[in-house]
Structure 1
Amino acid sequence: MRNLIRYSSILLMFLMFSCGENTEKKSEKNNTEEAQTETETQDSEKDVILFFGNSLTAGMGLEPSEAFPALIQNRLDSLDYDYEVINAGLSGETTASGKNRINWVLNQDVDVFVLELGANDGLRGIPLEETRKNLQDIINTVKDKNPKTKIVLAGMQIPPNMGEEYTTEFRNIFPELAEENNLELIPFLLEGVAGDPKLNQQDGIHPTAEGYEIVADNVWSVLEDVVEKE
């Protein structure tokens, strides 16, 4: 609890002013038409896992290769799973802004959709029913786009700045939505990391590379069963 309270004062100030960072990826062309055709064929056969979230998913303050989606890709590759991971995290994202961009993100086929949003809502005191509705709308959009897409919801907790009732009800949004929609749930994305200065960057909010190793373990503990079922 002491760690969570210490974590709260920094977390509240920083995420209120966090700004988005866009990362662009450039594709490389193969030297021959034959090699290019082969690569496109291989890519088309891979299932896609899309991580949709805020700065925690984006890996703010670190190299993209150190964020937990990249670590999940490394683990999948090491286990010979034929999946492509896409990091669609955007710093400063709220559930409302996420709802506004979800259709654009779903312009590609997605086999597994990992939803990590809500922390910025809670820290800004956004009404809980609005957060719940936005998350439900995102879930509905994913299901409407492709009913076969597996959805994993990342649970989040916030410090007690907004009062015990708000904090408790916020935490309960995620397991309740998971149960209502028959989704897989990561109980708390930052379990074992939040509030530990040794595992967070100087802002006290975003995990270090070492911290993201633990976050990746939290994600994999749930995601492993999902990808095995694909």
Structure 2
Amino acid sequence: MTYGAFARLSKTALVLLGLTVPAQAEGVDILALGDSLTQGYGLAEQEGFVPQMRAWLEARGHEVRLVNGGVSGDTTAGGLSRVAWSLSPEIDAMIVALGGNDLLRGIPPETSRANLEGILQEAETRNLPVLLVGMTAPGNYGTEFKQSFDAIYPDLAQAHDTLLFEDFFEGLRVEGAMPADMSAVMQPDNIHPNAEGVAQIVEAMGPAVEALIAQAQE
């Protein structure tokens, strides 16, 4: 058999001859369901969380389409109301990063918990792996509120067997605490990270998203 003839063999013919065909890595489509932190509020398009995370993953060899499902001002209730139609048929996995606006509005933790659980249940009905990204309540809400809110994410991750990244802002913490001066990594509103802050957040969260990709490819 000449080389040219061999090259023209179909994959099926190769299998029949007992030859192996190199596996092709399939791309993964991930929905990032979130609020302004996901959407990229106040930043140039390529400086936001989704573009920076996509670039971080691609630099490590991952073929991934990261869909920006961030809506500025959205609460967990808003996320629950739109998750069903946001999960279009091609989506293979989902990042859920909601709760910051619930904190800003003082929404009862039990309400936030119920909404997030509804989102996870929607993913379960579609057999989609999820990375749940947590938030941490500030101390000025009181000890009881903080304990109730902070427990939402690890509790739900355990109950629904999802991946967990405990705090969206983990990459900005030094020795477990936020620095007193955050001006270098935050926008003037002191709520949203600037481009450098997003880069640090992506660097910290990236390995958890890689774990999500691995689950989606199983």
- If the TM-score is normalised by the length of the shorter chain, which range does it land in? 0.7 to 0.9
Aligned partners of 2:56 and 2:202 also within 8 Å? no
How many Å apart are 1:126 and its aligned residue?
Answer: 1.1
Aligned partners of 1:58 and 1:64 also within 8 Å? no
Match of 1:161 in 2: 140
Q: What is the distance in 1 between the residues matched to 2:141 and 2:65?
A: 39
Residue 220 of structure 1 pairs with residue 201 of structure 2: no
Change (3 A) 1:72 1:192: closer
Match of 1:198 in 2: 184
Alignment of 1:59-70 (within 5 A): 59-70=40-51
Higher helix share: 1
Q: What is the distance in 1 between the residues matched to 2:158 and 2:205?
A: 18
Range 123-132 or range 198-207, more displaced? 123-132
Larger gyration radius, structure 1 or structure 2: 2
Match of 1:126 in 2: 107
Alignment of 1:17-56 (within 5 A): 46-56=27-37
Aligned partners of 2:57 and 2:210 also within 8 Å? no
The superposition leaves residues 146-167 of structure 1 with CA deviations (integer Å, 9 ceiling, x where unpaired) of 21x1100001012122211101
User: Once superposed, what is the RMSD of the aligned Cα atoms?
Assistant: 1.5
How many Å apart are 1:179 and its aligned residue?
Answer: 0.7
Q: What is the distance in 2 between the residues matched to 1:64 and 1:136?
A: 31
Aligned partners of 1:186 and 1:218 also within 8 Å? no
* Paired residue total: 184
1:178 partner letter = A
How many Å apart are 1:192 and its aligned residue?
Answer: 4.0
Match of 2:150 in 1: 171
Secondary structure at the aligned position of 1:49 is classed as strand
Structure 1: state its 5+ residue gaps. Answer: 1-44
Q: What is the distance in 2 between the residues matched to 1:228 and 1:75?
A: 16
Query: TM-score, normalized by length of structure 2?
Result: 0.80
Could you say which structure has the greater relative contact order, defined with CA pairs below 8 angstroms and 6 or more residues apart? 1
Structure 2: state its 5+ residue gaps. Answer: 1-25, 173-177
Residue 95 of structure 1 pairs with residue 46 of structure 2: no
Change (3 A) 1:48 1:60: same
How many Å apart are 1:139 and its aligned residue?
Answer: 0.7
Secondary structure at the aligned position of 1:199 is classed as coil
Query: TM-score, normalized by length of structure 1?
Result: 0.76
